[in-house]
Chains A and B, each alone.
Chain A
Amino acid sequence: MLIKCPHCGTRPVEEFTFLGDARPRRPASNDPASMEQWFDYVYLRDNPRGRMDEYAHHAGGCRSWLVVSRSTETHEVFATVTARDYAASRRKGRAS
């Protein structure tokens, strides 16, 4: 698996550490009433077969947090953006 880091270019997979699905959103509130949302966020997973957006830390390179869009079925990598850009584009998506 080769991943194209927006800063470092195409790099081998062993330079990256993965942290799972990037889509779930951290609940905004600490209110006990939001416990169901927290339970879902911390423990439950969609675990998709196919395309998945996944957090990756370029620990062996620029140390940026990235989001790699990849197929869990074939390991094909579709796109890589910084986590910051990913969050920004999601905010925009929500606004519009």
Chain B
Amino acid sequence: MKYSVFSLFRHSLSGHKNWEPAWREPAPKAEYDIVIVGGGGHGLATAYYLAKEFGLRNVAVLEKGWLGSGNIGRNTTIIRSNYMLPGNNPFYELSMKLWESLEQDFNFNAMVSQRGVLNLCHSDPQRDAFARRGNAMRIDGVDAELLDAHAVREMYPFFDFDNPRFPIKGGLLQRRGGTVRHDAVAWGYARGADQHGVDIIQHCEVKGIKIEKGKAVGVETSRGFIRCKKLALATAGNSSETAAMAGLKLPVESHVLQAFVSEGLKPFIDGVVTFGAGHFYVSQSDKGGLVFGGDIDGYNSYARRGNLPMIEHVIEAGVAMIPALARVRVLRSWGGIMDMSMDGSPIIDKTPVGGLYLNTGWCYGGFKATPASGYCFAHLIARDEPKDVASHYRLDRFRRGYLIDEKGQGATPNLH
């Protein structure tokens, strides 16, 4: 059923008691053409585009928990395409373009809000670096504006501009960046995929991968063996574990990233702002809570909760940027497990195992990538060749020395 103002009106006549579930809950079949492991944003988007754009409908998504229980339901909802390197920017810009038409495409309100993403700079060298990044973005056809302190002050007069240690000198603004309701992205893709015939199977954990003559032919799950012609892994923070089932060792570590929401406030911050002298990013949800986050805790973790020192650190950075935050109360904090790759960039590729495809390494930034990741992964699975904008995200780039290292920091799993 299509959601529209008419369906809303019709259902209001019956007191909204007859809405159908947004997707079916089928029992797993014995065999599919394509099995996708992981019902997060990327797995669901992949299934949706496989069915809708590539006409492959005999597809199942296996999720060990419930839909949205992973990072897709835990992130700070920021979308942007303000990268610098050629391997990255066209990919993230494709994602931004897909966000811009996503709600019409999958007929679901995902609250895509292009409210602008502003990165603050606090020194002259940092401004130079932003000018360079902004220019690189514009070469790729992405919008970028370099603002001086005065222009930032017009937007956010209550920032601590004259902070003696971290004065605000200006910022790089991407007006098309913003936020999207994260859960709705999972639900919209799930519903869209389901409508195109994809089976979405929750509470179905993959425990083993069966390989015959060098080719993946099926998965052992908590709900029995499921055979498949092609197998696609989109398991984010659990990527090392699922890849190990096929004998692969990945250039990935799992780390915990925390996020926070404050009590509800009146309209205060209407865009997304990031502090440039520490790691802190904030926006305000439509309910009024400030949603913010910072760095990963810094030690390997599969526990979806962090420790208190990082909470203190993030809030210190926030108060250095916005002194008024000191009086705001934090309502909740939580954590998600990030698939931190060794150069800070993702992997969308085939693997040495036949019929096995891999999507991982999203670090802290995979939410904004959800539409393009799904589209490009579907392209790879359907056609066995990478989509042009994702052609740099190769698994063997580490061995070959073709890292995509935005920060220029080298081999460390702490990149962003």
CA distance A74 to B307 in the complex (A): 12
A6 at the interface (CB under 8 A from B): no
Interface residue tally on A, bucketed by range: 20 to 34
Chain A interface main SS type: mixed
User: Which one of A26-34, A41-49, A82-90 is at the interface?
Assistant: A41-49
Indicate if the CB atoms of B398 and A39 lie closer than 8 Å. yes
Overall SS of chain B's interface: mixed
User: Which residues 1-51 of A sit at the B interface, judged by CB distance below 8 A?
Assistant: 1, 12-14, 17-18, 20-21, 39-40, 42-47, 49
Partner of A14, one of B251, B254, B309, B342: B309
Question: In the complex, A40→B309 CA distance in Å?
Answer: 33
The number of residue pairs between A and B whose CB atoms lie closer than 8 Å in the complex comes to 64
CA distance A72 to B255 in the complex (A): 9
Q: Mark B278-315, 1 if CB is under 8 A from A, else 0.
A: 00000000000000000000111111000101001100
A45 near B240 (CB under 8 angstroms)? yes
The answer to whether B303 touches A75, judged by C-beta atoms less than 8 angstroms apart, is: yes
Tell me the nearest residue of chain B to A70, going by C-beta.
B299
CB-based contact A20/B300 at 8 Å:
yes
Can you list 29 A-B pairs, Cβ within 8 angstroms, ordered by A? A1-B307, A12-B309, A13-B309, A14-B309, A14-B312, A18-B298, A18-B299, A18-B300, A20-B253, A20-B300, A39-B398, A42-B342, A42-B398, A43-B398, A45-B253, A45-B342, A46-B240, A47-B240, A47-B250, A47-B253, A70-B299, A72-B254, A72-B300, A72-B302, A72-B303, A73-B302, A73-B303, A74-B303, A75-B307
Q: Are B309 and A49 touching (Cβ within 8 A)?
A: no
Closest to A46 in B: B249
Do the beta carbons of A54 and B299 come within 8 Å of each other? Answer: yes
Q: Are B413 and A49 in contact (CB under 8 A)?
A: no
Q: How far is it, in angstroms, between the C-alpha of A14 and the C-alpha of B309 when the chains are bound?
A: 6
A52 at the interface (CB under 8 A from B): yes
Q: Given known contacts A52-B300, A73-B302, is B399 in contact with A47 (CB within 8 Å)?
A: no
